[in-house]
Structure 1
């Protein structure tokens, strides 16, 4: 499986590109500058964008959506975060003095899996960073958004965040995956192994 990462935007957000039989699957596209746009175009080239998957609705994870949408592209987001796409107060773009509103119409995630081409992504609810935060598990690759990061977790003090929801999500995720080998692909920072996070991440090792 070919997975590539670009780190883009004002807050160094990770955008992931997965080769599929029909083109590319993109997770959390961030395009904030002309340099970001050029880097993404070089990555995409002339490949069709089959689907865009959003782990949550903050501006740095959705800013590239309209740039990448094509006629047959399907945009997926949780129902609880769909309003972030059109509300700068919710998506946080007001903090960088922009009013980001996505024009593309999303497909709401309404089950625990998404099938794209020959791939099946398991959808894991991870509320805490936002109410509608989700992770996408593809085989042993977990695209985790701003839920768990290398040695840390996502902040809970933004619109829609909840420290209680985050705590419960961490407990649930740990119980589900503590005996499984999975790689975590976070929204910021380095890719890591969940087994390493259990040992060294203070937000997980104490739970």
Structure 2
């Protein structure tokens, strides 16, 4: 039985879900997509008395990464992201932070590969490269906990947009159908925006699931 629990806070102007995945016993925690409002993120960690073990980024758009460096420095931890997202994360035009009048450039401490497995919070985490919303988008799957953090690849009955740099609608649909909807039906899906869903519900109700 998994000891992992998940909570979230909605942050920033695009209402991004920033997740806190933590163990009930050790209080070790992963922060997923700290897009904005580092103070709100810090307050949650302190209130729950969590120990931050790392930061996971599903992709490099500004609304998912803007507070990441501040959070990294605050908790003296590492940022993990897809190796194929290096250029986009570093380029304010590509990560569309310039659209918000900002200039965000970020480099991860650990660059991840498709299919790579890491021990995180005492469980195995599998990295699933899901190009489409961005060229290097990555989902994080915890099989024992039956949890998938899907970023902006898969939403409840929808998928992410593909009209920003490195986006591709063809690649996105392929990623959703061939890499995510083949996971066990009971897997809970935690998207970058909106409500939680399950693989079963998306297989049944997501219009992009139809072959």
Compute the TM-score of the two structures, normalised by the length of structure 1.
Answer: 0.89
Determine whether 1:39 maps to 2:44: no
Give the Cα–Cα distance (whole angstroms) in 1 for the partners of residues 141 and 174 of structure 2: 19
Report how far residue 184 of structure 1 moved: 0.5
Report how far residue 67 of structure 1 moved: 1.6
Contact 1:22/1:117 (8 A) holds in 2: no
For structure 1, the residue ranges without an aligned partner over 5 or more in a row are none
Report how far residue 63 of structure 1 moved: 1.0
* Misfit runs of 4+, over 3 Å: none
Contact 2:80/2:108 (8 A) holds in 1: no
For residues 30-109 of structure 1, what are the structure 2 equivalents within 5 Å? Answer: 30-31=35-36, 36-45=37-46, 47-70=50-73, 72-102=76-106, 105-109=108-112
Give the Cα–Cα distance (whole angstroms) in 2 for the partners of residues 94 and 28 of structure 1: 19
Report how far residue 138 of structure 1 moved: 1.1
Determine whether 1:127 maps to 2:128: no
Contact 2:22/2:29 (8 A) holds in 1: yes
Q: Larger deviation: 39-48 or 186-195?
A: 39-48
Determine whether 1:138 maps to 2:139: no
Residue 17 of structure 1 aligns to a residue whose secondary structure is: strand
Residue 182 of structure 2 aligns to a residue whose secondary structure is: helix
Give the Cα–Cα distance (whole angstroms) in 2 for the partners of residues 41 and 185 of structure 1: 21
Contact 2:33/2:55 (8 A) holds in 1: yes
Q: Larger deviation: 78-87 or 64-73?
A: 64-73
Give the Cα–Cα distance (whole angstroms) in 2 for the partners of residues 175 and 194 of structure 1: 6
Determine whether 1:26 maps to 2:27: no
Residue 94 of structure 2 aligns to a residue whose secondary structure is: helix
Q: Deviations over 1:159-192 (max 9, x none)?
A: 0101121121122125622x53111000000001
Number of positions where the alignment pairs a residue of Structure 1 with one of Structure 2: 200
Give the Cα–Cα distance (whole angstroms) in 1 for the partners of residues 177 and 122 of structure 2: 31
Report how far residue 30 of structure 1 moved: 1.3
Give the Cα–Cα distance (whole angstroms) in 2 for the partners of residues 138 and 174 of structure 1: 13
- What's 1:200 paired with? 205
